[in-house]
Structures are given as C-alpha cells and as structure tokens.
Amino acid sequence: MNDPLRVAPGGPLSGQFKVQGDKSISHRALIFNGFAQGSARIEGLLQAEDVAATARCMAALGAAIDGVQITGCAGCLREPPHVLDCGNSGTTMRLLLGLLSGQDLSATLTGDASLQGRPMARVTAPLSAMGARFSGADGGTRAPITVTGSTLTNGPYRSPVASAQVKTALMLAAMQGQGTLEFEEPVCSRDHTERLLTAMGVRFDRTHHEDGRHAITLTGPQVPTATDVIVPGDISSAAFFIVAASIVPGSDITITDVGLNPTRTGAIAVLRRMGAALQISNERVVSGEPIGDIRVQATSLAATEIGGAEIPRLIDELPVLAVAAALADGETRIRDAAELRVKESDRIAATVRLLQAMGVDAEEQPDGMIIRGTAGASLAPAEVAADGDHRIAMAAAVAGLCGRGETVVNGTTCIATSFPAFPRLIEQLRD
C-alpha cells in the first residue's frame, strides 16, 4: 500500500467492476462456521486485515481453515495457545467475546491502539449478567481483556444502542446458554447474523415493532450446522465509488454483485434524495442476502438531512456521505450519529477536520455535523491525515478527486483493514 496516497484531480471514472467481499458477512461466515458442526465452503471472503485477524483467531480456537474450506469445532472451542490479536477489528473482538463467554476456557483478546481504546462494556456488561467473567483494562471493559467462559443463563436484555455487534455477541452467547434470550434494540441493526444463523438451522424469533424496535427471542442450547456462503460485494466499500462517480463530472460506473441488504442501503436512499443518478439492476438473492448491480452517473447534488432510524443503515458510510454533502448545493445536517465518535477513530472530528482542511465550511455537533456544500465548486488541495482510520483515508481520497490540485493523504496503510484494492481501483477507473 502506497503511503502517502497522492490523489490528483482528473478525468471521470468509468468502467464496470466488483468490490471485495462484504466485511460483516465475511467475519460471520468464519466465526459461525468455525463454531458449527460440519464443514463449509466460503466463496468471495474479503481478503483484508480485519477478516484475516478473525481467521487467525478462529484457527487458534480450533477451527480448521484450509483455503476456502472451513471445518467447525461442533460447539466446543479449544483454549487458545496464545493471546488472540484482533488487530483493528471491533467486530472480531465483540463477536468473539460473545462466543467465548459460553465456553469452558479462558482467553485473552487484544488489538491495536485504536481497538484498545474502544468501548467493550456494551458487550461485557450483558455477558457478565449471563454469567461470563471479564478482567483487564478499565475493570475488564477495554482490551487487552480476558474472558472466562461459564454455563450461561439467558434472560432479557434491552440494548441502548442499535449495534449488530452487540446483538450478535449476545446471540452467540445465548446459543450456548440455558433458557431464553429476549433481546431488544431501539432500531434494527444490520441483520446478517439473523440471515446466516437461520440458514445454519438455528431457531429464533424476530419481532419488528411499529415504533422501530427490533426484538430477538432465542432459546439455547443450539449448535449451528456449517453452511456454504457466497459473500456479496461490500456496499460499504462500494459507497466510496458511488460517491466518487456522483461528484466527478462525466463519470459513469457500474458495480456488480453488491450486497443490497435493506439494513445496509441507507446511503443509497440518502444519495437518491440528494439527486444522485443511481440505477439498480439484476437484483437477486445469493446465500440469503439480496444483491444486485449499481450504475452511477455524475449529477449535481442537493443538501439533505440525515438522522433518526436511518443512521444504523448507513453508519459506516457517513464519512463519504459527508464528502458528497461537501460538493452538494446547500446545508446538510447529520444528527443522531454519536456512535461515530467510538469507531476506528472519532469520525465526527476526523471528517470535519478533513473537510475543513479542504476549504469546506463544516462544523462538529455532539451527535453529527453540519456541512455547507460548494455546489460542485472544487475543493482546496490539502495534506490530510487519515487518523489510522480506513474509512477516513478513503473518504479523503474521494474528496481529493474534486480538488483544485493534488491532495496528499497521510497514513493510508490502514486501508488494508477493509479494502486493499481501493487505491488501485481508483486509478484503473480513471485510465
């Protein structure tokens, strides 16, 4: 990976291509199959550092991974011979804390400096109430963190945040516990776990309440059956190109085989509201997940308001949607997105800093930001820092496509955590 990444403004983006496999589904395909009874084939697994960390952890816990084939340990993991390094991946750490809570073993999980700073109490508190024990930094709520599993007792838990990581951690624990987990989240977070566990034969009920609350009822113990997975393209990776092609005049791209799970497509809805020219075709369902092709043609964009129940459906896309807002006509407000402050970086601060460095009138709010767009006028060339955050690095590169001169993005090796092919693809599409 070249660092710094230098982005010169230039011609339109054109071409048809695929993005790499969905990160959320890749983690789940490895963790669930590694825990399951039997053997499965995973096609299109994301080849990136976050998912490689999950694969290494699952191998240390006894799953047998041989190329695209994975054989699970039938519900009984082995005590790992070393500390489990989750790298930069919050999903790896939170899902494994749930999985390990019900095992008769102790394991220590750690990660890089960013992951060591991220809150784990959102999973350790409800998992402790079920009977698991945690010790480590900040009273066992930050990594490095040691989990000692136990016989778990399932019960009710109302999550204050709409987090698929919390939901999944609790479902993984409840599959090993006695009794019934009654989980509720304020808004339905991404539901890849529900889809894949259903395909793996795990039984549970889902209720969508009229006010947006989403509930899961799962009775343990149950062991999933290993199931083949074809991983769709990652909409969160595609979003960088969808915005890039929308804002660079003359662009016309088609991204094929992208995941279109409705719990993930908030960015498409927002961009359409802003006037983007997006066409979806070839829609079908593969491995229980809706997928399709997305064609994007450049257009002028108008400002919008982003908030409320739509936030969980686009949480990872907000940095690049902020870049779209920076080129739009009018004032865009992003609200109800305080979760952005506890991602791989404080993404509210990092995004506003990036936009300001490029001459955009942007301001931080406690739970979001306000961006006054340039109505298509090009941005100031700048040297910006990625803050060790892959999505900030890629959002900066996309903004650089609309710069008046070269944009230099420092610290871009982090792009390898989710989308190693990104820098090469940007260049290829502009040839």
Residues within the interface to ligand S3P (CB under 6 A) = 24, 27, 91, 163-165, 168, 189-190, 315-316
Nearer to ligand S3P, 24 or 287 (CB): 24
**Catalytic member of 85, 191, 316, 387:** 316
Nearer to ligand S3P, 184 or 329 (CB): 184
| Beta strand extents in 126-251 (DSSP E only) | 133-136, 142-148, 156-158, 179-185, 205-208, 214-220, 229-230
The question of whether 205 is a catalytic residue gets the answer no
Contacts of 181 (CB under 8 A, 6+ apart): 154, 155, 156, 157, 170, 171, 173, 174, 216, 217, 218, 219, 220
Nearer to ligand S3P, 190 or 430 (CB): 190
User: How far, CA to CA in Å, does 238 sit from each of 11, 241, 257?
Assistant: 19, 5, 10
Smallest separation (angstroms) from ligand S3P to the CB of 214: 13
Smallest separation (angstroms) from ligand S3P to the CB of 162: 7
Nearer to ligand S3P, 54 or 71 (CB): 54
The residues facing 93 across adjacent strands are: none
Smallest separation (angstroms) from ligand S3P to the CB of 154: 20
Smallest separation (angstroms) from ligand S3P to the CB of 263: 10
Buried b (16+ CB within 10 A) or exposed e, 221-238: ebbbbbbbbbbbbbbbbb
Nearer to ligand S3P, 27 or 56 (CB): 27
Among candidate residues 276, 307, 304, the one with its CA nearest the CA of residue 371: 304
- Distance CA(267)–CA(310), nearest Å, equals 9
Nearer to ligand S3P, 32 or 303 (CB): 32
- Distance CA(409)–CA(411), nearest Å, equals 7
Smallest separation (angstroms) from ligand S3P to the CB of 277: 27
Report the sign of the C-alpha dihedral through residues 163, 167, 172, 176, in that order.
positive
User: How far, CA to CA in Å, does 122 sit from each of 89, 133, 366?
Assistant: 16, 14, 20
3-class SS string, 313-362: HCHHHHHHHHHHHHHCECEEEECCCHHHHHCCCCHHHHHHHHHHHCCCEE
Q: Which residues participate in catalysis according to the annotation?
A: 316
